[in-house]
Structure 1
Amino acid sequence: MALRGTNQEFGRPYNRRIVLESIRLHGPIARGDIASRVGLTVQTVSTIVRELEEHGYLLSLREEPRGRGLPPATLRINPEGGYAVGVHLTPMGIDAALINLSGDVIESTHREAPHATPDHAFELIGAMVPELTSLRPGGRVLGIGMALPGPFGVESMSFVGPTTMAGWKDVSLPDRLTASTGLPAFFETDMAAAAMGERLYGLGAGFSEYYYLYFGVGLGGVIVHDGAVMRGAWGNAGEIGHIPAIPGGELCPCGNHGCLERYLSLEALRRRNIGEAAWVAEVAPIFRNAIATIENLFDPETVILGGLAPTDLLEKLVGAAAQLPNSISARRDRKTPRVMVATGGQHSVLRGAAALAVSGVLSPRFGQMFIAERERRSDLMHSKGVAA
């Protein structure tokens, strides 16, 4: 199911976003087909399309006539109409990529920076971004999105322990990121960014309702509902890694015992210091129970396993889940496996972070439509971006 347009006041930036997304997902596509998909009038879609064309975000194509009359013009994303930078900050280091409007990774780069301090990290990012944007001299760089481990704003859990960015409490992320790069800046949890990247450019594009299980240094996951990542009341939905799963289990930095990510995560694999096959066999029962819990809570079409882990490790985990416990997902009419390996790869989080920047510039998030009037007046789409 596609995102739907809105007739509410201040809905134009949101409509712009979903029209652009519909074209990206289904293009080349005619205006009338866009209108049907997003629930807007053809006139409204045409107005938005004209605006996007004028700013170079879209290309209009028309096939050769095959009979009487002209075929309708179809629209597609102009890949070179703009770029965004995606950054992923982890306890292991920093990854960044320059990504065009079609989601193609122009180039990516990595810096080893274990448990980097804010000053060191932003210094590195400030050097990485010009290297990337110089690959498209004169190109319009819309903004930068940064993904990092959450949760945010939780005193006892945020930026605490080896799976988070310890020492980053009270850092003004957008301000520091803009100061380091000169770009409009946005940030998100890495699991939400990866889920969006997978939805836009990977296996998730084929599902309306799926759970993305993010297997990184820690463990997280989010439900994607009707094309949108569900973030919760404070934006921290998805900290499945902190569900106590083993009574009397290992002490977690959050203060609880037996948290899931103490057993299922790259950090857990590192601590066990055994071969992957032996580790997978050891944690398989825990993984299977986690999948059944996710299914009973969210009733997804499927669980997509992705993140920072190598694909072969993810495939071993999925293989270990061949005999899953019974759950509401054990249906006779299933058309897809209950657990699948993501196809977006490790670039999903960077693509999702870049998409966050594009969305943030072209349209405020739907929940931001009702913020203060002075903030609503700001519309970054009409700026020319930052030339590389």
Structure 2
Amino acid sequence: MLGDNVYYLALSWAAVQAGTPAQAGLVMSVSALPRAVLMLGGGVIADRFGPRRVVIGSDAVRCAAVLAVAALLFLTSPGLWPLALLALLFGTVDAVFMPAVGALPARITGRDQLTRVQGMRGLAIRFASVVGAPLGGLGVAVGGAAAAFGLAGLLIAVSVPLLISVRMRELPGEQVSEEGSDSEQVSERVSEKVSAGAWQDLKAGLAYIRGHRVLAPLMLAIALGDLGFVGPLNVGLTLLADRRGWGASGMGWVLAGFGVGAATVSLLLTVRGRLPRAGLVAGCACTAGAVAVGSLGQASSLPVAVGIALLIGLVSGLSGAMCGALLQTQGDPSYLGRVTSVASLVSLGFAPLSMPFAAAAIGAWGLGPVYLVSAAVCGLGGVVFLCFPALRRAELPA
């Protein structure tokens, strides 16, 4: 995550230096397309060939690509094309990497510890976002975009042996382990899996989710929550800070409030390990978050906005962690790559599409109405939690 944060800062800086602002924006958005188009296929790959080898292989590819661009920038000024190709490759690899990462927790810990894993993941995200940007800025200041890319590549390189060292258990019924098998057995297993048909695997995964009493409504709740959340907390917050006269520093304070709230919940879940009535808690948190999102658009003073953002961080962090833990515990481990790919597709593929619409709507109708509509969409996610009995009564393992 640290490497990713440094990479994105280096990519944006290099793109701005090499082209116009519009071209830089295009380079930054290139990775979203393969991520959205290929995410479901990435879930199939993770489930077919095992998340361990997929995670290690895709992380190694990311590392090699970033270091190659760093070397290219050290030697010459290649323009925008290598940056666009890197962004395209990064998005493609992400489409495989993210579902595989989502399938790992069930293989590395017990079901009763999965909520703790989500809490620790949240802490890692917050730490990386706080430390990664200054690290990237330091790299740019010392040696330009080339040094920042080199730093990102080295950070990702450190993660590869760490991933290799993680011990994983096999799922019931697996005949060949991820490691310690001779090459003939592995090749035979891969051939059998390929012949089974990836398309059938994808359809089977979607059918599994659609027929599941908890996962099906949970996916709907996640989609509604993300669609209502992304616009106001991204482009909407920028416009809110501008129109209220808070400036960039004010927007930074609001984001800091959100980050503190989310990190606090992550720490709580890491220490506590489990909350009872997970489905009900997630639904109530999602509903409370919707009210807070609507209130943020009405805030006229910066201290009030920071306080509301702190509350949003608390409740959204809680609902997000509960959703992640429920995905892990309710899904069959053999389907977790595909389950994670669907959830990631919603969060990283569809939800960002709401940002240009949110910006256009704010320009047409103002901040208040758009924030209220977004809050209503978030609130529908909470309604889904509360209206589906199986989801509302879902519990995490003790």
Q: After TM superposition, is the score higher than 0.5? A: no
Q: TM-score, normalised by structure 1?
A: 0.26
Q: TM-score, normalised by structure 2?
A: 0.26
More helix by share: 2
More strand by share: 1
